[in-house]
Amino acid sequence: MAQADGATRTVIMTVDDDPGVSRAVARDLRRRYGASYRIVRAESGESALQALRELKLRGDLVAVILADYRMPQMNGIEFLEQAMDVYPGARRVLLTAYADTDAAIDAINVVDLDHYLLKPWDPPEEKLYPVLDDLLGAWRAGDHRPVPSTKVVGHRWSARSSEVREFLARNQVPYRWYSAEEPEGRRLLSAAGQAGERLPVVITADGTPLVEPEAPELAARVGLATTPAADFYDLVVIGGGPAGLGAAVYGASEGLRTVLVERSATGGQAGQSSRIENYLGFPDGVSGGQLTERARRQASKFGAEILTAREVTGLEASGAARIVRFSDGSSIAAHSVILATGVSYRQLAAPGTDDLTGCGVFYGSALTEAAACQDHDVYIVGGANSAGQAAMFLSRGAKSVTLLVRGRSLTASMSHYLIRQIEETPNIRVRCGTVVESAHGDGHLERLTLRDEHGSTELVDAQWLFVFIGAAPHTDWLDGTVLRDERGFILAGPDLTPDGRPPAGWELDRPPYHLETSVPGVFVAGDARAESAKRVASAVGEGAMAVMLVHRYLEQS
């Protein structure tokens, strides 16, 4: 059984099957190194390997391993050979009797042994400490920086691996990516007891391996809040984009018991933007991730709860309460609700793209993939600001970026400042009147067939395609609850009463407030609202305005 001293320091491990010797070695090690290193001792090779695997999963560092040669079941050389697979950078020391020196010398070649020590090692000041001082100095001279606590092991061209990485990145969870084909990835899979058939494997901060985790499990295990603290609130905000975050900040700061519910990650489409340069107060621009994280911290500071990876599937009015139902069958209730569900990019209707989504075809910026685009040719579909921002961001490292625009120019859909920047960037090319006819590849994107406005087609080599086409609102779950237009956008305020009469079923003696839906006390803000401006600034403003109207509703209820 392995025993440890301390919790967070770099480890020195000692392995000996004789309990008396094991305690003596650990005692001498603690006396000299206990203040700076964590001393772990084990009394068998198998228990030591198990301890090493647990340390590996937690991301702990191991500097030196001392193993006794004569151990039953697994001798010291056999143990160190397997320990190399877990911690190849650790310095290895074999403890031997005088009669075993030949075996120790042979082990120098077998396990790349750094040193062997003859027992007894008394006095340690002469025979043990000088050797370990040198080995620890050599170990520290190498690059053994601790890695972020969460680790993801997966395949490079895997849609599920890409989704997990994007989920963690957008939720500001630090992690490190390991390819299952690389040595360190294989070591982590082995330590987690996985052969690699089911990927990705996420290893959490406490060393727990999660195999192909779904978002709710992943969120709960990496420390994101997924369970509401109460059953009833003043305000439930559904959606964590700019409108939802704005509503959460203003609701909580003005004393409302507020909970924000997000099905994936806060920020919405804006959170995926590599650079927003026309948002008030940021003359040098700000990334969507930075803006989102600041807003999230601000909402939390004022006391708003933020629930992640919770999918809302229903909304109903029950007297004065508005009940929000989740996909797992649970629910919460509130006096009022703000719908800030936002929109998502429409799917590209081209043969081959569905099968290659996440394997070279991405919707939105997918900023976690940007580093892999270095020196590659990148294609982007779309002609609005989000596509232009992605083109500028990816052009910093990509060999070339080609914008594929269905229309005849960018002027109708993209801000002037972005058009100017694109024109001044030499490795960005704009192809107007061009669409993706089909995508091709075996396991990942390899080629695209492009079609121009004259019907001519061209086959181009491509490993990366980022899609920004149109927007569809996340409102199907509201069918039969609130009124929506023919495209699914939520109607509110004056759009509900074009002839001055309240909508059918409206029971109050006042018309709906400006952002109020056909259900009293349920408001809408941001891109999901019919005729909204589809800009970050307007979404934040509508979130704040919706809270003002919530106050008015609560005062008159």
CATH number for the domain including 214? 3.40.30.10
- Point out the domain boundary residue: 177, 192, 221: 221
Q: Residues of the chain with pLDDT > 70: what percent?
A: 94
Residues 367 and 460 in one domain: yes
CATH number for the domain including 388? 3.50.50.60
Q: Write the DSSP symbol of residue 119.
A: S
Is residue 351 assigned to a domain?
no
Q: Which burial class, exposed, middle or buried, applies to 387 when counting CB atoms under 10 A from its CB (0-12, 13-18, 19+)?
A: buried
pLDDT at residue 6 tops 50: no
381-406 per-position pLDDT tens digit? 999 998 999 999 999 889 999 999 99
Q: Say if CB 379 and CB 466 are below 8 A apart.
A: yes
Residues 465 and 479 in one domain: no
56-96 per-position pLDDT tens digit? 888 889 999 999 988 888 988 889 888 888 898 899 998 88
Residues 323 and 417 in one domain: no
240-284 per-position pLDDT tens digit? 999 999 999 999 999 999 999 999 999 888 877 777 888 888 887
Only one residue has tokens 């910026």, namely 365
- Point out the domain boundary residue: 141, 165, 182: 141
Is residue 355 assigned to a domain?
no
What is the 3-class SS of 89-150, one letter each residue? CCEEEEEECHHHHHHHHHHHHHCCCCEEEECCCCCHHHHCHHHHHHHHHHHHHCCCCCCCCE
495-524 per-position pLDDT tens digit? 998 776 788 888 899 999 999 999 999 999
Q: Say if CB 212 and CB 495 are below 8 A apart.
A: no
Q: Residue 65: which of 76, 57, 53 has the closest Cα?
A: 76
The domain in which residue 123 lies consists of 3-141
Residues 17 and 133 in one domain: yes
Residues 482 and 338 in one domain: yes
Count of the separate structural domains present in the chain? 4
Is residue 26 assigned to a domain?
yes
Is residue 545 assigned to a domain?
yes
pLDDT at residue 165 tops 80: yes
Strand order in the sheet with 377-381: 361-363, 464-467, 377-381, 400-405, 428-432
Q: Say if CB 427 and CB 402 are below 8 A apart.
A: no
pLDDT at residue 100 tops 80: no
- Point out the domain boundary residue: 454, 469, 484: 469
Residues 117 and 90 in one domain: yes
Residues 449 and 527 in one domain: no
CATH number for the domain including 131? 3.40.50.2300
Is residue 103 assigned to a domain?
yes
- pLDDT for 103 equals 66
The length of the chain in residues reads: 557
Q: Please give the model's pTM, rounded to 2 decimal places.
A: 0.76
